[in-house]
A and B are shown apart, each in its own frame.
Chain A
Amino acid sequence: MPSIQLRSATVDFPIYNARTRSLRHGLLRRVGGRIQPQGDLVTVNALRDVTLSLHAGDRLAILGGNGAGKSTLLRVFAGSYEPSSGTADINGSVSSLLDITLGMDFELTGEENILLRGAFVGMSRQEVKQRIPEIAEFSELGEYLHLPVRTYSSGMMLRLAFAISTARAPDILLLDEMIGVGDRAFITKTSKRLEKLMDTASILALASHDTATLSRYCNRAVLLQEGSIVMEGSLATVFKAYEATSPSDNLRQPS
């Protein structure tokens, strides 16, 4: 069974070449994780002591201001950031649509890019080749698949990227905001495909500021602030808390 288990997971980034923060900067700072100077070394706490467990059927909404740790949390779910302290156990195949154009090579043709990306997500060459017609049809790129990606418009490139990264249905699906790709006709197509992926995925984690979107797809929520989970529970209660921390109330006492 796919599952995600975080036990007091902390993500601390050492910043080796940061200047010691000035008082003025400290007063002005209103976003991001806590910055801790320890001598010459500055550490950014992107995530602090997060304990969370997700099981099949969970659809997690991740809320929080800029720099609250939403993307970092998603990357811990993806397994790319192993916590600097605490543990993260992730079971199941993960598809993180955080950056769908990842690994796109502009000099290679669309088809070569499909093969390359396919290998990365663990498909055999055979399997990828079988999926090429489907990807070609979905992206509507036609003959362009035989041309280098640098000849594509940015919209076309996103179409291809989207078609590749959603070709395979994962157990765990991670999304940083809903992806809307392409022109009007294509957007309905992408959201249909995305919704299908979200349905088949056993666990979904979606980070967004838009409570309407979140309530449509999610069944539980966490609110992040300065890298910690400050609230966890049903959508309604967490939304309420999120709205209460709206920017005007967010002024912090200078530390």
Chain B
Amino acid sequence: MAHRLTSRSWQFAKRDFIEGVGAWHVWLPFGLKDIRQRYRRSRLGQFWISISTGIFIAGIGVLYAVLFKIPPHDYLPYLAVNYIVWLLMAGMANDSTAAFVEASAYLRQDALPKTIYIMRVLVRNVTIFAHNLVVLPFIFLVFGFRASIAMLLVVPGLVLLLIAGFLTVLVSSLLSTRFRDFPQIVQSTLQVAFFATPVMWAPQQMGPIGWYFVHLNPFAIFLQLIAEPIRGKAPDLSLYVGAGIIICILLIFTLPFFARYRARVVYWL
């Protein structure tokens, strides 16, 4: 293919990024519309997001509390926080595979920055996350809650996750458009990742190897960075280092990849 990585393609990629991320007036209504449309004509509308998450947490929470022999008032809040953060990560990964394909019509006609479609995926999943957060006050109300200054650390955790999420969605959406087998790979990986990540179990249950399960699994690192502060615990510094390393690796890989193949996306549709 005649598309090499030239200074021109770098320049276009940079402009795409700046204009695309800056075009909040396009991607914000675009992403919100997706949610609104999904629940249009249903009586409870988008609150089905919160309801179905609540049902999952209640059901699985009680079941696993019994299985693991952990008191439900300890286990349910633990699972609830983890599961909600997991849904955000898995949602972004899942949606990434369709980011460009579902926007075919737009891509073929308009010369909009490609990063708009990435931001749309983030908006959609952050909106779902916000709806899921509604479940937490109920859980805390029933099972008790301690306010802590460490909760403020949720913010940097979320910011780091969204940066990593943006880069991951970008590279995964490009790969998924070119290689139509890639979405299947992502889906099956996510299924395994759900069980390999300490969402339903705690790293301590693993004993000494628990540390590796947390630090070698990107999902686990970001999960802890957000879930721990919600539980009122400051995450270990090593987790921040881990997140930094992951973001650096993603940057090194994603930026040249995007610069080179950005213009090709529309040819792959």
Contacts and interface: CB of A to CB of B under 8 A. Distances in A.
Contacts of B29: 115-116, 119
Interface extent on A, as a size class?
A: 20 to 34
Contacts of A81: 108, 266-267
B204 interface: no
B25 A125 contact: yes
Nearest to B41: A107
B105 interface: yes
Interface residues of B, number: 27
A45 to B, nearest CB: 12
A119 B30 contact: yes
Interface in A156-193: none
Nearest to A86: B2
Contact of A78 (B26, B33, B111, B264): B111
Contact of A14 (B1, B12, B109, B112): B1
A79 B267 CA distance: 13
B33 A14 contact: no
B263 interface: yes
Nearest to A101: B105
A194 interface: no
Interface string B108-139: 11111000000000000000000000000000
Contact of A119 (B8, B25, B36): B25
A232 interface: no
A84 B37 contact: no
Interface in A71-100: 75, 78-82, 84-85, 87, 90, 94, 96, 98-99
Interface of A: 10-14, 75, 78-82, 84-85, 87, 90, 94, 96, 98-99, 102-103, 105, 107-108, 112, 115-116, 119-120, 124-125, 148
Interface of B: 1-3, 8, 12, 25-26, 29-30, 33, 36-37, 40-41, 105-112, 263-264, 266-268
